[in-house]
Amino acid sequence: MKIISVVGARPNFMKIAPFIHAIAVYNKTATKEKTIEHVLVHTGQHYDDRMSKAFFEGLNIPDADFNLNIGSGTHAEQVGNTMIEIEKVIMREKPDWIVVVGDVNATLACSVTAKKEWVKCCHIEAGLRSGDLKMPEEINRLVTDRLSDILLTPDRISISNLKKEGIEDKHIEFVGNIMIDTLEANRIKAESLDINKIILNNWFDGAKSNEGDFALMTLHRPSNVDEKEIFEPIIEFLLNEVASDMQLIWPIHPRAKKNLEAFGLYEKVINHPNIIILQPLNYHEMLRMNIGARIMLTDSGGLQEECTVLGTPCLTLRWNTERPITLREHGGASVLVGNNAERIRQEYRNTLIIERKPQRPELWDGNTASRCLEAILNYKEN
* Active-site entry in 42, 123, 220, 272: 220
Query: Least Å distance between CB 222 and ligand UD1?
Result: 7
Piece of the chain touching ligand UD1 by CB under 6 A; list 3-11, 23-31, 211-219, 325-333: 3-11
Query: ∠ at Cα 305 (301, 303), nearest 5°?
Result: 55
Task: Report if residue 137 touches ligand UD1, rule: CB under 6 A.
Answer: yes
Piece of the chain touching ligand UD1 by CB under 6 A; list 145-153, 154-162, 248-256, 362-370: 248-256
**Which CB, 220 or 228, lies closer to ligand UD1?**
220
Task: Report if residue 64 touches ligand UD1, rule: CB under 6 A.
Answer: no
**Which CB, 137 or 155, lies closer to ligand UD1?**
137
Query: Least Å distance between CB 245 and ligand UD1?
Result: 28
Give the total of residues touching ligand UD1 (CB under 6 A). Answer: 19
21 is catalytic: no
Answer for which of 26, 47, 263, 319 binds ligand UD1 (CB under 6 A) is: 47
Query: Least Å distance between CB 236 and ligand UD1?
Result: 23
**Which CB, 48 or 194, lies closer to ligand UD1?**
48
* Cα separation, 190 vs 172, whole angstroms: 34
Answer for which of 48, 213, 261, 267 binds ligand UD1 (CB under 6 A) is: 48
Piece of the chain touching ligand UD1 by CB under 6 A; list 87-95, 154-162, 232-240, 254-262: 254-262
Do β-strands 150-153 and 66-67 pair in parallel, antiparallel, or remain unpaired? unpaired
- 109: nearest Cα among 132, 131, 128, 81: 81
Answer for which of 23, 54, 104, 275 binds ligand UD1 (CB under 6 A) is: 104
Query: Least Å distance between CB 361 and ligand UD1?
Result: 21
**Which CB, 131 or 358, lies closer to ligand UD1?**
131
Task: Report if residue 11 touches ligand UD1, rule: CB under 6 A.
Answer: yes
Task: Report if residue 10 touches ligand UD1, rule: CB under 6 A.
Answer: yes
Piece of the chain touching ligand UD1 by CB under 6 A; list 44-52, 61-69, 271-279, 314-322: 44-52
Query: Least Å distance between CB 103 and ligand UD1?
Result: 6
Query: Least Å distance between CB 72 and ligand UD1?
Result: 4
Answer whether 354's CB lies under 8 Å from 334's CB: no
Task: Report if residue 80 touches ligand UD1, rule: CB under 6 A.
Answer: no
3-state secondary structure the chain: CEEEEEECCHHHHHHHHHHHHHHHHHHHHCCCCCCCEEEEEECCCCCCCCCCHHHHHHCCCCCCCEECCCCCCCHHHHHHHHHHHHHHHHHHHCCCEEEEECCCHHHHHHHHHHHHCCCEEEEECCCCCCCCCCCHHHHHHHHHHHHCCEEEECCHHHHHHHHHCCCCHHHEEECCCHHHHHHHHHHHHHHCCCHHHHHHHHECCCCCCCCCCEEEEECCCHHHHCCHHHHHHHHHHHHHHHHHHCEEEEECCHHHHHHHHHCCCHHHHHCCCCEEEECCCCHHHHHHHHHHCCEEEECCHHHHHHHHHHCCCEEECCCCCCCHHHEHHHCCCEEECCCCHHHHHHHHHHHHCCCCCCCCCCCCCCCHHHHHHHHHHCCCCC
Answer whether 98's CB lies under 8 Å from 87's CB: no
Piece of the chain touching ligand UD1 by CB under 6 A; list 169-177, 234-242, 249-257, 339-347: 249-257
Task: Report if residue 136 touches ligand UD1, rule: CB under 6 A.
Answer: yes
Note the residues at the interface with ligand UD1 (CB under 6 A).
9-11, 45-48, 51, 72, 103-105, 136-137, 220, 253-255, 258
Q: Which residues are catalytically annotated?
A: 220
